Amino acid sequence: MQGRLRSFLFIAVTLFICACNRNEVRQIPVSSFFKTPQRTYFKISPDGKYISYLKPYKDKQNIYIQSLATGAEQRATGFTDYSVRDYTWTFNNQIVLTQDIIAVDEFKLYTLDIATLKVKKLLNLEKARIRILNRNRQQPDVITVAMNKRDPVNFDVYRLNVKTGELKPYLLNPGNITKWYPDANGSIRLVKVSDGVNESILYRVNDKKPFKPIIKNNFNDRVEPIAFTGDKNNFYALSNVNRDKTALIEISAETGKEQKVVYASDKADILDVNYSRVKRRLELVNWEEAKPQKHFLDTDIEKVYRTLAGKIRGTQIDIVDRDSAENKFVIVSSADKNPGSYYLYERSSDKLRKLADINADIKPEELCDMQPVSFKASDGMIINGYLTIPKGKERRNLPVVVMPHDGIWGRDSWGYDSEVQFLANRGYAVFQVNFRGSAGYGKAFRTAGFKQVGGKIQQDITDGVKWLIANKIANPKKIAIFGGSFGGFSALYGVSFHPELYNCAIIKYGLINFFTYLKDAPPFFKPYLKMTYEMVGNPETDADQLRAISPVFHTDKIKSPLLIFQGAKDPRANISELNQFVRELKKRNVPVTYRLKENERAYFKSEHNRMEMYAEIESFLNTNMQVKP
């Protein structure tokens, strides 16, 4: 009898343990979340014969080429000092690529010949920046680039021959041009000029004619040209002039007058437009509500997307590159629980094949839903955001990591976020707030954030945390705050002025002093300073306000444990000031851990440094997210 009872108890205990194990969530390794992708940044050659991508070689990202005819893969570059930063195909089967030599703050520009796989250096740009504006089918050896080589404050436009390296000035900047808009043939017929606060759009009929102003606005009113319509010298643009939500409109280049609304949403700003330079027509518009939205303007491209949606289910799908014939497309698909995959789709044969998973270690079924949420701020304004609940947990009494986004005027969006999923996998609910000023919600919402970086913007974050507590989602004794850049400022602000809310703070490349942030801006940022003064604050007229909110002046208010990461080559950081800030905190016995990494800018490119950082973040939260006494 006793033997049967022992057997029964053994079986019951075994079944109970198995049931518990089935409910356990596997702790995914840090390396799985933050490793360098094995193959990423896929592009297709204009002739449709090759696929290119970045792949690690001796721990650095290099370009690899795959023939679509044979499937043969070849490594095309062999950099072992610094990774390829960016690259683009030209119409003569060349690739133009850049390297960021962080140690000496130098950009290098190379060309890669696909036939020979020979790499040739074209330019060395010490402390200068370059961006490619246009590649021209009519002149396949020539690309149009903007550089601040002549004057660090202003970008000029050049024509660069990628075969010979010849660099010819095309348009020199008189000192007030902030953007150039080439047409489909590479001719610049529209430019944007600014006095720092007011912006104007200038137009010229051709290269031989002078520019004339056609539109003048305060910077709050946005006009962003997209492409010429091909009819009556009209052009498409994104504009919020005389409206709250940015719309896609058509404008007369002769008069600057709005001709018609192509597409608008009453719920959100149109954020992006897809335009075919081959067929010279609009394809679709994108905007953000709770989740990303699309509206098609071209039936051909709509058919492609509908076909792809039938083949790749449950994800957001985007075309990221195509050949000149618009027959072969590089596709990326992703979702909140899926880092994404690259595909090649051939329209003529209706064939789809996977090129690579962005992160094959991540299994969507092990990750957590990113849930759109909204709440009322203390002044009644509706604030939106996202809440990610750990898998297998009820939405109740959870430890929470608050993550303010890192650009004042940026936003968080629904989709895969490795940091969010990493923290949720470790058992933390993650709360992201699109505070007032965030992009996509219209002009009134954006301007409501002006000169509120330490005011209502921070109150929105605080109100969100209090909403979590009031709804019993958050354990009020287990809340951390974590952010980079402006998000890092928000984290420091939170533990300084609301110490009762937060156990600890994690700061990446954080903004600690608005005075030096504005004073030490890179030269090419100078044309935007007056506008920034209007949006953030003027160091002279708003000095008291900026001093009152800058963490560097309030070390006496900080008591919570801090974990601070910083790249020594971050161009927006004042390292000596940050070092002094940390020393002052330590003098006041604040528990602060500070990691300064050489040869890193704001974002850590080194996989080793990333792994160390997130392992330390995990340990820091484990230590400090204990119940307060």
Which tokens in the block code for residue 53? 């991508």
Q: Alpha-carbon distance 391 to 402, whole Å?
A: 18
| Amino acid 185: pLDDT | 83
| Amino acid 17: pLDDT | 42
| Amino acid 379: pLDDT | 98
183 in any annotated domain: no
Whether the per-residue pLDDT at 337 is higher than 90: the answer is yes
Q: Alpha-carbon distance 515 to 511, whole Å?
A: 10
Burial of 58 (0-12, 13-18, 19+ CB in 10 A): exposed
Whether the per-residue pLDDT at 354 is higher than 80: the answer is yes
The set of long-range contacts for 584-589, using a CB threshold of 8 Å and a minimum separation of 24, is 584/555, 585/555, 585/558, 588/555, 588/556, 588/558
| pLDDT, tens digit (0-9, with 9 covering 90-100), for 202-229 | 999 999 999 999 999 999 999 999 999 9
Whether the per-residue pLDDT at 257 is higher than 70: the answer is yes
Burial of 379 (0-12, 13-18, 19+ CB in 10 A): exposed
| Residue 424: CB atoms within 10 Å | 24
120 in any annotated domain: no
Whether the per-residue pLDDT at 12 is higher than 50: the answer is no
173 in any annotated domain: no
Assess contact for 624 and 590: CB atoms under 8 A. Answer: no
Return the closest-CA partner of residue 142 out of 187, 177, 190.
187
Return the closest-CA partner of residue 295 out of 324, 323, 265, 317.
265
| Amino acid 4: pLDDT | 52
Assess contact for 265 and 272: CB atoms under 8 A. Answer: no
Hey, which bits of 229-315 come out as E strands? 234-239, 247-252, 258-263, 270-276, 281-288, 292-296
Q: Alpha-carbon distance 386 to 409, whole Å?
A: 17
Q: Alpha-carbon distance 273 to 235, whole Å?
A: 13
328 in any annotated domain: no
Which tokens in the block code for residue 310? 């039938």
238 in any annotated domain: no
Angle between helices 486-497 and 456-470 (to 10 degrees): 70
Return the closest-CA partner of residue 148 out of 111, 206, 107, 201.
107
Return the closest-CA partner of residue 285 out of 266, 317, 314, 262.
262
If one counts the domains in the chain, the total is: 1
| Amino acid 627: pLDDT | 58
User: With bands split at pLDDT 50, 70 and 90, how would you rate the model's confidence at 286?
Assistant: very high
User: Which H or E run includes 198?
Assistant: strand 198-203
Average of per-residue pLDDT values in the chain: 94
| Amino acid 18: pLDDT | 41
175 in any annotated domain: no
Q: What is the CATH number of the domain that holds 416?
A: 3.40.50.1820
Which tokens in the block code for residue 614? 């997130």
What are the backbone angles phi and psi of residue 122, rounded to the nearest 5°? Answer: -100, -45
User: With bands split at pLDDT 50, 70 and 90, how would you rate the model's confidence at 231?
Assistant: confident
pTM for the predicted model, two decimal places: 0.94
**Which range marks the domain in which residue 519 is found?**
367-624
Average pLDDT of span 78-95: 96
Assess contact for 213 and 255: CB atoms under 8 A. Answer: no
Which tokens in the block code for residue 71? 């499937």
| Amino acid 437: pLDDT | 98
441 in any annotated domain: yes
| pLDDT, tens digit (0-9, with 9 covering 90-100), for 470-493 | 999 999 999 999 999 999 999 999
What are the backbone angles phi and psi of residue 304, rounded to the nearest 5°? Answer: -60, -50
Whether the per-residue pLDDT at 6 is higher than 90: the answer is no
469 in any annotated domain: yes
| Amino acid 13: pLDDT | 43
Burial of 397 (0-12, 13-18, 19+ CB in 10 A): middle
Whether the per-residue pLDDT at 448 is higher than 80: the answer is yes
Q: Alpha-carbon distance 225 to 146, whole Å?
A: 17
| pLDDT, tens digit (0-9, with 9 covering 90-100), for 13-22 | 444 444 344 4
| Amino acid 3: pLDDT | 53
Average pLDDT of span 604-616: 97
Which tokens in the block code for residue 559? 């008591």
Average pLDDT of span 2-29: 56
For residue 197, what are the contacts with CB-CB under 8 A and spacing of at least 6? 218, 219, 530, 531, 534
Please provide the DSSP assignment of 80-136 as one string. Answer: SSS-EEEEEE-TTSEEEEEEEEGGGTEEEEEEEETTTTEEEEEEEEET--EEEEEE-
Bridge partners for 384 per DSSP: 374, 434
User: With bands split at pLDDT 50, 70 and 90, how would you rate the model's confidence at 2?
Assistant: low
Average pLDDT of span 433-459: 98
Cα radius of gyration rounded to whole Å, the chain: 26
| Amino acid 180: pLDDT | 95
Please provide the DSSP assignment of 456-511 as one string. Answer: HHHHHHHHHHHHHHHTT-EEEEEEEEEEETHHHHHHHHHHHH-TTT-SEEEEES--
| pLDDT, tens digit (0-9, with 9 covering 90-100), for 139-194 | 999 999 999 999 999 999 999 999 999 999 999 999 999 999 998 888 999 999 99
For residue 541, what are the contacts with CB-CB under 8 A and spacing of at least 6? none
Whether the per-residue pLDDT at 31 is higher than 90: the answer is yes
Q: Alpha-carbon distance 86 to 147, whole Å?
A: 15
Whether the per-residue pLDDT at 622 is higher than 50: the answer is yes
CA dihedral 493, 498, 502, 505 (to 10 degrees): 10
Q: Alpha-carbon distance 438 to 404, whole Å?
A: 11
Which tokens in the block code for residue 237? 């643009």
Q: 573 by DSSP, 3-state: which?
A: coil
In the chain, the N- to C-terminal Cα span, in Å, equals 50
| pLDDT, tens digit (0-9, with 9 covering 90-100), for 407-439 | 999 999 999 999 999 999 999 999 999 999 999
